[in-house]
């Protein structure tokens, strides 16, 4: 029997489409802000069910969405078919090793909170550079560690207090939100420092239909990393304490005053010019 890939298992465990449903507005805003003029070949890496891949294709780009989770690839292809987007296809693949993807295939490689979750960051940087055309660009959206203004940073930090330490050699995905790591990783892939720019940007989780505590409940039920944190906390009899802290954080960050959810999350927007 083939060995289970824990990175794949983590993202197939839940159903990220339930979280992505509250990320659509910011996905569209981010795509519009890229200033793209098709024709363009675009790779959306760690694309989920197409929060950015769908609006990219709606702009007229030819888009390949690659994701490690089979269920999300299926969900993405269903959304593309329903929207009649023949220029968009989703396929399974691993950001650490983009098997079957030719060198210099894409004008833009985009990865919004996607490739940062792959376990071998140096391989990821090398692969993103390899598949992007010279003269093209890589754009990443990465969560920032210990950022008090980022709901997701807080969610992952609180969750880590309730989870056993990761195995030796584990590299935190949050390191993709740190300048020194970005420069080192892309540097090893042959990109000079002056070709890398970083700015802080904000993503919003928006739903008129759910409260912040229902929003946390959807993470508890559907978001692999949070599901794992709750399982670990449950074993220690601390699941309700974890829930309390997450709801408190979501309420504190919520900008909506009518009981619905509008939670901002700061992230690092990284642009690499090749
Ligand atoms: C937080 S979700 C973001 C999804 C999407 N970009 C969005 O903004 O809605 C992280 C995504 O990265 C994918 N992912 C994690 N590790 C990956 C890897 N090694 N290769 C490709 N995709 C990966 C997950 O399956 C998941 O869809």
Q: Is 23 in the pocket of ligand 1 (CB under 6 A)?
A: yes
Taking the CA of residue 44 as reference, the ligand 1 atom at the shortest distance is: 6
pLDDT of residue 235: 95
CA of 35 to the centre of ligand 1 (A): 23
How many other C-beta atoms are found inside a 10 Å radius of the C-beta of residue 219? 22
| Helix, coil or strand: residue 240 | helix
Q: What is the pLDDT of residues 15-63, one digit of tens each?
A: 999 999 999 999 999 999 999 998 899 999 999 999 999 999 999 999 9
Distances (CA, A) of 255 to 25, 206, 210, 212, 263: 16, 10, 13, 10, 6
* Exposed / middle / buried, residue 111 (Cβ in 10 Å: 0-12, 13-18, 19+): buried
Give the strand pairing for 196-207 and 261-273: antiparallel
pLDDT of residue 4: 83
The backbone torsions φ and ψ at residue 198, rounded to the nearest 5 degrees and listed phi first, read -135, 130
- Position with higher pLDDT, 231 vs 148: 231
Q: Is 67 in the pocket of ligand 1 (CB under 6 A)?
A: yes
Q: Is 127 in the pocket of ligand 1 (CB under 6 A)?
A: no
Under the banding of pLDDT at 50, 70 and 90, the label for residue 80 is very high
Reference 140, options 84, 102, 166, 179; nearest CA is 179
Q: What is the pLDDT of residues 95-138, one digit of tens each?
A: 999 999 999 999 999 999 999 999 999 999 999 999 999 999 99
Q: Is 110 in the pocket of ligand 1 (CB under 6 A)?
A: no
pLDDT of residue 187: 98
Which residues of the chain form beta strands (DSSP E)?
41-45, 62-67, 88-92, 106-112, 132-143, 196-207, 261-273
Q: Is 142 in the pocket of ligand 1 (CB under 6 A)?
A: no
Nearest-CA residue for atom 16 of ligand 1: 118
pLDDT of residue 188: 98
pLDDT of residue 147: 87
Q: Is the pLDDT of residue 146 over 80?
A: yes
Taking the CA of residue 119 as reference, the ligand 1 atom at the shortest distance is: 19
Distance of CA 197 to the CA centre of its chain: 19
Q: Is 90 in the pocket of ligand 1 (CB under 6 A)?
A: no
| Helix, coil or strand: residue 206 | strand
pLDDT of residue 63: 98
CA of 252 to the centre of ligand 1 (A): 27
CA of 237 to the centre of ligand 1 (A): 30
Domain 6-145+170-206+262-273 has CATH 3.30.420.40: no
Q: Is 20 in the pocket of ligand 1 (CB under 6 A)?
A: yes
Taking the CA of residue 94 as reference, the ligand 1 atom at the shortest distance is: 20
CA of 9 to the centre of ligand 1 (A): 12
Q: What is the pLDDT of residues 152-178, one digit of tens each?
A: 989 989 999 999 888 888 999 999 999
Q: Nearest-5° angle of CA 27, CA 33, CA 36?
A: 105
The mean predicted confidence, pLDDT, of the chain is: 95
Q: Is the pLDDT of residue 2 over 60?
A: no
Q: Is the pLDDT of residue 149 over 90?
A: no
- Would you kindly state where each structural domain of the chain is located, as residue ranges? 6-145+170-206+262-273
The answer to whether the beta carbons of residues 256 and 195 sit under 8 Å apart is: no
Q: What percent of the chain has pLDDT over 70?
A: 99
pLDDT of residue 3: 66
Q: Strand order of the sheet with strand 62-67?
A: 88-92, 62-67, 41-45, 106-112, 132-143, 261-273, 196-207
pLDDT of residue 141: 98
Cα separation, 219 vs 212, in Å, equals 11
């Amino acid at each position: 029997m083939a060995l289970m890939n824990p990175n794949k298992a983590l993202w197939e465990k839940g159903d990220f489409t339930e979280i992505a449903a509250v990320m659509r507005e910011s996905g569209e805003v981010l795509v519009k802000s890229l200033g793209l003029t098709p024709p363009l070949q675009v790779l959306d890496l760690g694309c989920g069910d197409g929060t950015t891949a769908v609006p990219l294709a709606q702009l007229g780009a030819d888009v390949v969405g690659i994701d490690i989770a089979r269920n999300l690839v299926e969900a993405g292809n269903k959304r593309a078919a329903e929207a009649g987007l023949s220029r968009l296809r989703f396929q399974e693949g691993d950001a650490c090793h983009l098997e079957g993807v030719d060198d210099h295939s894409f004008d833009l490689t985009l990865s919004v909170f996607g490739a940062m979750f792959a376990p071998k960051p140096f391989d990821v940087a090398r692969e993103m550079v390899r598949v992007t055309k010279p003269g093209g660009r890589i754009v990443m959206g990465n969560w920032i560690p210990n950022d008090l203004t980022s709901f997701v940073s807080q969610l992952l930090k609180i969750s880590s207090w309730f989870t056993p330490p990761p195995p030796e050699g584990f590299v935190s995905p949050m390191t993709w939100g740190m300048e020194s790591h970005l420069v080192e990783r892309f540097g090893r892939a042959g990109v000079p420092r002056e070709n890398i720019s970083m700015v802080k940007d904000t993503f919003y989780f928006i739903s008129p239909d759910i409260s912040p505590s229902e929003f946390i409940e959807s993470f508890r039920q559907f978001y692999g990393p949070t599901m794992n944190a709750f399982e670990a906390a449950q074993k220690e009899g601390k699941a309700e304490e974890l829930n309390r802290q997450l709801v408190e954080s979501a309420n504190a960050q919520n900008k909506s005053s009518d009981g619905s959810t509008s939670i901002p999350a700061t992230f690092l927007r990284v642009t690499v010019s090749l």
